[in-house]
Structure 1
């Protein structure tokens, strides 16, 4: 990605990986190659996220089992956060626990009240291997936790219990994209 360019403007929209695909349910590998293929992956992630449209997208959601995600997400004060993280680690998730509607591009059209912490701190590196620290609150904290979960092989439905979990999984089985 050229400095100053719009994220995703040179990317290719890739097919979305949907619930049930094994790549969504296994931890992703650390990125070790910080060359042109990583920059292309990040551009493709942005292009795919914007086309979906979504506020975050992890590499395994387009079938690439590497620890990378992108985001373009507002927080609860409507401040826009745009960026990417390579080899991210959720180092803090704390504060008040909030149950809020959560969806996922890999489960299109479905959402459920999911509990997340109201504050998150994620550390990783950028596409050049330089350290990055991203802190979020509110909806942006939810996004950071959601994308980190993806890279650990979890989807938001894995955080649900009882009738909420059952309702989402039943709806997924009946969804037109799950045929």
Structure 2
């Protein structure tokens, strides 16, 4: 397994729609393992393949609380089947927008269909943090960042803050800044 470099907004790869995985093979299984290691190292609770510059519809999530055993999900070609009418507003952050946080309103619950690392079909109903993470990571597969759910004023303010933070940092092997 390997820790992969995480792209930092506004890298153009983060705004591209990811392509479906045609076959769950050893390369995809290795990608999910590397993505989990990268996510745990960061640390985070979710990571989408576009964040590591892979334009495939692959996400990993682990919302286990500190002290709990890991509960990783490897979701290949995830698709939201439904989202609840009930809404939930939570503070979100993102590994591609380090140290940037904002309240985002999303569906409080959802149902997702996906393939696992063996290529087997699953459906999962989720609520709370897991539902938020699933929606957040699927957004990445569609070229959407959590700040895109905010007003233009708030989004621009946060992106300027990120640019200022990144300009003051020394180059980091784990992160790459886009053009």
TM over 0.5: yes
What is the rounded CA distance, in whole Å, between the counterparts of 1:110 and 1:133 in structure 2? 31
The answer as to whether partners of 1:74 and 1:140 remain within 8 angstroms in 2 is no
Deviates more, 1:44-53 or 1:129-138: 129-138
SS of the equivalent of 1:99 reads strand
- 2:82 is matched with 92
How far apart are 1:61 and its partner, in Å?
Answer: 0.7
- Structure 2 residue aligned with 1:125: 115
Residue 174 of structure 2 corresponds to none
Match of 1:106 among 86, 90, 96: 96
1:158 aligns with 2:148: yes
**Unmatched segments (≥5 aa) in structure 2:** 170-176
TM-score norm. by structure 1 comes to 0.86
**For 1:56-79, what per-residue CA distance to the aligned partner results, in whole angstroms no more than 9, with x for missing partners?**
11011111000001110149xx99
- CA–CA distance in structure 2, aligned partners of residues 73 and 86 of structure 1: 18
Q: Secondary structure at the match of 1:108?
A: strand
1:92 shift after superposition: 1.3
1:70 match: 60
1:15-56: CA deviation from partner (whole Å, max 9, x where unpaired): 001112221101100001322111110110000000000001
Deviates most, 128-137 or 47-56: 128-137
Distance 2:133 2:113 in 1: 14
3-state SS of paired residue (2:158): helix
Q: Which runs of 5+ in 1 are unaligned?
A: 1-10
Report 1:1-179 matches (<5 A): 11-74=1-64, 81-176=71-166
Distance in 2 separating the partners of 1:148 and 1:90: 8
Name the CA shift for 1:116/1:81 in 2 (closer, same or farther; >3 Å).
farther
Aligned 8 A contact 1:85 1:132 in 2: no
Secondary structure of 1:135 counterpart: strand
Task: Give the length in aligned residue pairs.
Answer: 167
Name 2:172's counterpart in structure 1. none
